[in-house]
Homo-oligomer: A and B are copies of this chain.
């Protein structure tokens, strides 16, 4: 019933076109140096037989897979509570597929999975990896670098050991935070509070840094640690109001936190933005546009970030194969190696009504 018809091989196509396997291979792979009439004959044979190359056989000899792993470390459910992750994936997917690469998704749920992921990566199933892990103590990045797979990180990696030479893409969290706080200050606000994200994540830490850079030597009570969730935002806002009833502005580390803060402000009878101005971070549309009042926030282009990560990785992969091909010492000086370091994407301030 579900009898699988054996798929045609190169051999079959060659026979039908009356040429050798090598020629078919050349045509299929777009190598030049095959005369037009033959190309045509082969094309037709491929068409008629519905030939599709066997990727396993191909990988076996080329050592290329046309596949990239996306590793998402997922200790908390937060990532699933906002569309961040989905947007990122979409950007990655677009870039990857437009270069004929497949996306292998590796979701990790705690430490048990780390070994599995490391093994998979070390197993040479994919040509490279895109890794999201932004926690200070995460052992995963180290494991992955150990696996020897070309990798690009999403977000500034937070670990400190000998892996400084990581390539990563991140939003300008610090700069965005500065913009937010400067806006508030420009509005004449003087008691500007900050509801942070979880400070073991570099994005949260960087936003706090940006806040501090503008605020200078600020009353420490104005900074309340939170966790990027609406519930956390509520708690933190209450705490902030209790500590500093005179607060006249709030910079929340993300939109979800801001949404929670707005609810508490309303509940406590503070008008936004008249009594307290609020700025968020992310510009997650479903959140920022739907709050009451609509949220002024720092926009980061998540999808673009994904796209850039993929692009960077693909470029590294290309260079690798090229390096291997060119043993010419003359060019060797040029193709040093992958430059480590980060690509920082700009953020933009989106004004709505909350500030």
Contact = CB atoms under 8 A, between A and B. Distances in A.
Interface stretch (A54-62, A131-139, A193-201): A54-62
Interface in A54-93: 54-57, 59-60, 65, 67, 70, 74, 79-83, 85-87, 89-90, 93
A113 B90 contact: no
A86 B97 contact: no
Contact of A85 (B86, B259, B320): B86
Interface of A: 1-2, 4-5, 7, 50, 52-57, 59-60, 65, 67, 70, 74, 79-83, 85-87, 89-90, 93-94, 97, 102-107, 109, 113, 116, 119-120, 122-125, 148, 150, 230, 256, 259, 263, 285-286, 290, 292, 320, 323, 337-338
Copies of this chain held together in the complex: 2
Contacts of A67: 104
A65 B102 CA distance: 14
5 contacts: A2-B337, A57-B60, A89-B105, A94-B107, A105-B105
Nearest to A292: B263
Contacts of A70: 105
Contacts of A87: 80
A79 B89 contact: no
Contact of A337 (B1, B54, B113, B124): B1
A110 to B, nearest CB: 11
B105 A103 contact: yes
Contacts of A93: 105-107
Contacts of A86: 79-80, 85-86
Contact of A102 (B89, B97, B125): B125
A124 B286 contact: no
B123 A52 contact: yes
A237 to B, nearest CB: 14
A107 to B, nearest CB: 4
Given A80-B83, A80-B86, A86-B85, A55 B290 contact: no
Contacts of A90: 74, 80, 107
A103 B104 contact: yes
A113 B153 CA distance: 27
